[in-house]
Amino acid sequence: MKMIEDNNLYHFTSADTAVNFILKNETLKFSSFKYVNDPKESKSWPFKFYGHYIENKDKFKPNFFHESNNFIKDHWLVLCMTRATKEIAYDMKMWDSYGQKHKGICLVFDHKKLSKVLNSQTNNFLFEKEIHYTNINNTESIFNLYSVNGYFYIFTGINFPFIINYLKSMYNPFLLSNISNPFMLQLEHYLHIGKESYLKWHSIHFNKNLFFNKSLSWKDEKEYRYILYSNNSAENQFLTYKDSLIEVILGNDISIADRKKIKEVLKNKNIKISQLIYNNWHGSLFDITNSEENDNSVIDISTSFRVDVPQRFLFTSTNTKNGVEFLFFDWETGDVSVLPLEE
């Protein structure tokens, strides 16, 4: 059975969050960087201030560091996904960390549809990219392509001569500087145009360096991010996902009550519902979209055994939609039968 296509986006969450918020309202939450799980991101960025005129040094205040980090946390919101192949559905670490200890769910989105529908709902800057995992700060300039409500603007941070800075300043005069380091803030510009304007355009220009790098410690998560600029420093913003949700995978230990709630909220919505069953080092996904509770009509008989051990028959356990069944294989006749469970 073909269950999950490659290159979709996956979002692990709790059953309660899914039922009462995401699936109920058909929205996804963009939240502050205060709540990301990497402490280096949720605390501060290593900004430094530099100047050209020594007489301005007394205008610097230590709280500028605090202001800069707070601006990013207040104005940039993030939506975290995982970009991977179908194997992510069997990743026990992801279920343990983000899927309510295997009692939650995993939402599967069509990547292209989701990106299109999110962009259609905002006139602000919305960037998306997979995370680059590194232990070294990437401070080189980056070529960026920005999309704002269907219009494209090209920026470059490469240090070509005056003509590049001139073209750059035609759209954004605040970046008329030779600096190409995302963590270096120009004091004179900061003071002249104000922190709001300066930090907005600095963070837009260097969005890749500031928001899409992460410690190697998290590399197995294969994170993919959407980041959204908020003019009003809103705590959260909610955007609808419309028809981009294509499947909901239920965790191995999800409760019967939560499974019923999810099936009810998705009733008649043409979204596939799959149940993950994990036993004996083997995982199976069963399509339960239209099945009733306690329906064991489908059995996954994928199993492995030692061919170097002489045998006429074999007893083994296998997965069903509702747990484990036990099978008997007769290698001479080719018969396979399900053993009755003991009372």
Phi-psi region of 334 (alpha: psi -120 to 50; beta: other; left: phi over 0): left
Taking only the tens place, the pLDDT of each residue in 195-249 is 999 999 999 988 998 999 888 888 888 899 999 999 887 678 999 999 999 999 9
Please report, for residues 98, 118, 234, 250, 332, the alpha-carbon distance to residue 148 in angstroms, rounded to integers and kept in the order given.
Answer: 32, 12, 19, 36, 67
Half-sphere exposure of 19 (CA within 13 A, CB side): 16
CA distance 44 to 24: 35
Please report, for residues 50, 54, 67, 327, 332, the alpha-carbon distance to residue 57 in angstroms, rounded to integers and kept in the order given.
Answer: 9, 6, 18, 79, 89
Residues 6+ apart with CB under 8 A from 203: 71, 72, 75, 76, 210, 229
Residues 6+ apart with CB under 8 A from 319: 277, 278, 279, 282, 283, 284, 286, 299, 300, 325
Residue with tokens 């991101």, as numbered in its chain: 41
Two tokens, residue 237: 């913003």
pLDDT at residue 200, rounded to an integer? 92
Q: Helix or strand or coil: residue 249?
A: strand
CA distance 266 to 108: 14
Two tokens, residue 148: 């704002």
The residues of the chain scoring below 50 in pLDDT are 1-5, 137-171, 173-178
Burial of 150 (0-12, 13-18, 19+ CB in 10 A): exposed
Which DSSP state fits 311? -
pLDDT at residue 198, rounded to an integer? 92
CA distance 15 to 19: 6
pLDDT at residue 68, rounded to an integer? 93
Nearest CA among 55, 74, 117 for reference residue 246: 117
Nearest CA among 243, 250, 302 for reference residue 276: 250
Predicted TM-score (pTM) of this structure: 0.76
